[in-house]
């Protein structure tokens, strides 16, 4: 055990860290604020958590030695999935380095048994700053083990925002003063098309275009294998894959509908197992869902949920139904951005099946209604979308109405059967770049 640890630490000491493109999240801020907690970076696989850690490590190494700043990746295949590895880690490190560790960075720690108890003990007994990354809801605020409650601060990491995407593409605008001149706007629109098509996972953003979908498909396979099948010991892998494909080709789901669809395809899977599979998929952060808005919890449980994916790359690379469907791609991007902005969202639908995409809650009140419509140039499309928005506005007593669309910006006073409201229109690219 000690030999493996010594080898890994020796490699760390000699490792050349990659250059890092700064993200909007700056971990240095948490050190400057003297947040006396374990900092946990949590999110979907390959969103860039390790590189965010590297960014801080690079800064710390300007003033500290490699022996004082230590990074361990627990997805290294040499790391035995045994508690003894954790027990030996710090004593062995301090023995060979002959220095006290000041900053400890741990990638995918949750892969090891009893990781939370060891982390609690380390936090309580060692005077060091601890940063942990994870790609499982096990490390979320909702599911964190009892022994760590009150001792950690979770930071959710998402794929690149559109602002970050532009920086990765070396389009460095000052978003606070940008007037979107005729020279700049075409560059932004071209970048938006790429962002909608290939998403914001950093490695996919940076590689050649002809390899992007191939890499997205590789990520998809890895998530299925490592974050779902192996983590939850799933025996019926083919049914899981069929369910994922079904979700990718759907805008909403219910257990009953998914059960019937899978059954018609020849997959025998019980409803309780199906419910577990969907929770496993969401626990990997590959998908998230929005319930219908209702003041009755029973309605939220009973009605179908709308399904969204953590990154558009998967819709285009895997789905046979929605690839290059810009209406679907727009809506998915908005859903992810609202989640990034920590908004609590629902969707609205009435008995006539008219729908509003996002009901945004601010505490106990409805703060905004958002309709996403790729192209409102067609008058019938615009009337349909506005009619639903105005009906929802009356039903939910909310007057803050927004239509996110392809290219129209402005405000209009609109009316439908006595319901009068002011509606704001904004292009997707401009909404994504709002400061």
Is 81 in the same domain as 217? Answer: no
Report yes or no on 231 lying in a domain.
Answer: yes
For helices 184-198 and 326-340, what crossing angle results, to 10°? 90
Is 15 in the same domain as 141? Answer: yes
Q: What does the block give as tokens for 285?
A: 């952060």
pLDDT tens-digit profile of 315-332? 999 987 665 689 999 999
Report yes or no on 370 lying in a domain.
Answer: no
CB within 8 Å of 337: residues ≥ 6 apart? 161, 162, 431, 432
CATH of the domain at 19: 3.40.50.300
- How many of the other CB atoms lie within 10 Å of CB of 110? 22
State which of 264, 297, 321 marks the end of a domain. Answer: 321
Is 153 in the same domain as 175? Answer: no
The confidence score (pLDDT) of residue 1 equals 66
Is 65 in the same domain as 141? Answer: yes
State which of 157, 174, 196 marks the end of a domain. Answer: 157
Report yes or no on 204 lying in a domain.
Answer: yes
Share of the chain above pLDDT 70, in %: 97
Buried b (16+ CB within 10 A) or exposed e, 20-37: bbebebebeebbeeeeee
State which of 131, 157, 183 marks the end of a domain. Answer: 157
pLDDT tens-digit profile of 337-383? 999 999 999 999 999 999 999 999 998 899 999 999 999 988 899 99
DSSP state of 173: -
Which neighbouring-strand residues pair with 131?
Answer: 39, 105
The confidence score (pLDDT) of residue 30 equals 85
DSSP state of 176: T
Report yes or no on 307 lying in a domain.
Answer: no
The count of domains in the chain is: 2
pLDDT tens-digit profile of 47-57? 999 999 999 99
- Give the burial class of 50: count Cβ atoms within 10 A of its Cβ; 0-12 exposed, 13-18 middle, 19 or more buried: buried
Is 29 in the same domain as 105? Answer: yes
The confidence score (pLDDT) of residue 180 equals 61
- On whether the CB atoms of residues 282 and 289 are closer than 8 A, the answer is yes
Flag whether pLDDT at 218 surpasses 80: yes
Is 145 in the same domain as 219? Answer: no
Report yes or no on 51 lying in a domain.
Answer: yes
In the predicted model, what is the mean pLDDT of residues 86-96?
A: 92
Which is nearest to 338 in space by CA: 366, 360, 365? 360
Is 138 in the same domain as 163? Answer: no
CA contacts within 13 A on the Cβ side of 138: 19
Report yes or no on 165 lying in a domain.
Answer: yes
The confidence score (pLDDT) of residue 324 equals 66
Distance CA 245, CA 239 (A): 10
Is 152 in the same domain as 19? Answer: yes
Flag whether pLDDT at 177 surpasses 70: no
- On whether the CB atoms of residues 10 and 119 are closer than 8 A, the answer is no
Is 12 in the same domain as 153? Answer: yes
Distance CA 103, CA 67 (A): 9
Flag whether pLDDT at 196 surpasses 90: yes
Distance (Å) of CA 41 to CA 14, 108, 154, 372, 392: 25, 10, 6, 30, 37
CB within 8 Å of 363: residues ≥ 6 apart? none
Is 142 in the same domain as 177? Answer: no
Share of the chain above pLDDT 90, in %: 75
Which range marks the domain in which residue 132 is found? 2-157
CB within 8 Å of 302: residues ≥ 6 apart? none
Q: What does the block give as tokens for 392?
A: 């929802």
Which is nearest to 434 in space by CA: 183, 175, 180? 175
Is 8 in the same domain as 152? Answer: yes
Which neighbouring-strand residues pair with 402?
Answer: 370, 424
Distance (Å) of CA 187 to CA 162, 169, 170, 195: 13, 11, 11, 12
CA 108: distance to chain centroid?
Answer: 16
Distance CA 103, CA 100 (A): 9
In the predicted model, what is the mean pLDDT of residues 193-201?
A: 97
Distance CA 169, CA 13 (A): 32
Report yes or no on 283 lying in a domain.
Answer: yes
- On whether the CB atoms of residues 333 and 223 are closer than 8 A, the answer is no
pTM for the whole thing? 0.94
- How many of the other CB atoms lie within 10 Å of CB of 148? 19
The confidence score (pLDDT) of residue 176 equals 67
DSSP state of 292: B
Report yes or no on 351 lying in a domain.
Answer: no
Is 96 in the same domain as 150? Answer: yes
- Radius of gyration (C-alpha) of the chain in whole angstroms: 24
What is the sign, positive or negative, of the torsion defined by CA atoms of 215, 45, 282, 346? negative
Model confidence band, residue 417 (pLDDT cutoffs 50, 70, 90): confident
């Amino acid at each position: 055990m000690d030999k493996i640890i010594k080898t890994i630490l020796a490699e760390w000491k000699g490792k050349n860290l990659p250059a890092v493109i700064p993200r909007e999240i700056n971990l240095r801020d948490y050190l400057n604020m003297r947040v006396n907690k374990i900092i946990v970076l949590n999110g979907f696989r390959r969103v860039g958590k390790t590189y965010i850690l590297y960014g801080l490590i690079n800064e710390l190494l300007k003033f500290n030695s490699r022996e004082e700043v230590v990074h361990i990746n627990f997805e290294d295949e040499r790391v035995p999935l045994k508690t003894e590895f954790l027990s030996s880690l710090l004593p062995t490190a301090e023995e060979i380095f002959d220095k006290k560790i000041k900053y400890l960075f741990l990638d995918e720690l949750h892969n090891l048994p009893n990781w939370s108890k060891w982390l609690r003990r380390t936090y309580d007994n060692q005077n060091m700053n601890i940063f942990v990354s994870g790609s499982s809801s096990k490390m979320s605020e909702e599911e964190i083990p009892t022994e760590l409650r009150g001792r950690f601060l979770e930071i959710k990491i998402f794929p690149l925002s559109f602002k970050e995407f532009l920086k990765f593409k070396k389009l460095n605008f000052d978003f606070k003063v940008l007037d979107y001149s005729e020279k700049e706007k075409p560059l932004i629109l071209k970048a938006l098309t790429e962002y909608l098509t290939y998403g914001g996972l950093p490695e996919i953003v940076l590689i050649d275009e002809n390899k992007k979908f191939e890499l997205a498909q590789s990520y998809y396979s890895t998530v299925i294998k490592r974050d779902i099948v192996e983590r939850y010991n799933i025996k019926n892998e083919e049914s899981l894959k069929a369910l994922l494909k079904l979700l990718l080709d759907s805008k909403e789901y219910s257990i009953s509908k998914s059960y019937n669809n899978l059954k018609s395809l020849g997959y025998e899977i019980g409803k309780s197992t199906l419910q577990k599979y969907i929770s496993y998929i969401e626990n990997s952060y590959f998908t998230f869902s929005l319930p219908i808005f209702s003041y009755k919890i029973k309605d939220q449980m009973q009605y179908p949920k709308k399904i969204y994916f953590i990154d558009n790359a998967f819709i285009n690379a895997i789905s046979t139904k929605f690839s290059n469907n810009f209406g679907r791609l727009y809506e998915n991007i908005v859903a992810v951005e609202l989640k990034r902005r920590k908004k609590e969202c629902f969707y609205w639908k009435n008995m006539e099946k008219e729908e509003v995409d996002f009901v945004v809650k601010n505490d106990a009140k409805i703060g905004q209604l958002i309709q996403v419509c790729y192209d409102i140039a067609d008058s019938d499309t615009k009337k349909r979308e506005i009619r639903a928005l105005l009906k929802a506005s009356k039903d939910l007593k909310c007057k803050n109405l927004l239509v996110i669309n392809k290219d129209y910006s402005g405000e209009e006073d609109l009316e439908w059967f006595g319901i009068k409201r002011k509606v704001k229109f904004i292009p997707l690219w401009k909404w994504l770049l709002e400061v």
